[in-house]
Amino acid sequence: MAAQAHNHQHCIRNALASAERVCAERGARLTPLRKRVLELIWESHEAIKAYDLLDRLGDEGGSAKPPTVYRALEFLLAQGLIHRIESENAYVGCRHPERTHEFQLLICDDCRHVEEISVAGVTRALGEQALKQGFRVSSQTVEVHGQCPDCRSASGS
């Protein structure tokens, strides 16, 4: 899934432009720290943990503390600019922050690449099955772990 010729700078520029547009439309404040956290998340298509973000900010000479980074992450989640990978307590950028949408995450267990996909009806189908069991769904994250095409090719699988 991770292509050698992939230009992450293009992804970062698009993500930041979308974030600025979304925040302006919603009257939400995209502070310099929130923007920098989003930029760090988009530097690759791999999941990144809060403490890795904190380390990166510290390496840049920043003085961000864990609560500050967690507040930035909460803001980015609330605005739909990132997704939380529950199984890894990590974060990845959202490809479609301008609209609410169903999404599923394909996570490569080898290279850590995360791909956001949207298969229509998955959320509804899971919700219907839960309801049949008398279960009320409060939130839903579909994560699929496996091996991406690049890692499968490299391992000969």
**Per residue in 33-60, pLDDT tens?**
999 999 999 998 899 999 999 999 988 8
What ranges do the domains of the chain cover? 8-155
- When the pLDDT of each residue in the chain is averaged and rounded to a whole number, the result is 90
For residue 75, give Cα distances in angstroms to 3, 38, 69, 86, 114: 30, 10, 10, 17, 21
Res 79 pLDDT > 50: yes
**Residue length of the chain:** 157
Is pLDDT of 3 > 60? no
pTM: 0.87
Question: Has domain 8-155 been given CATH number 1.10.760.10?
Answer: no
H-only helix segments in 42-93: 50-59, 66-78
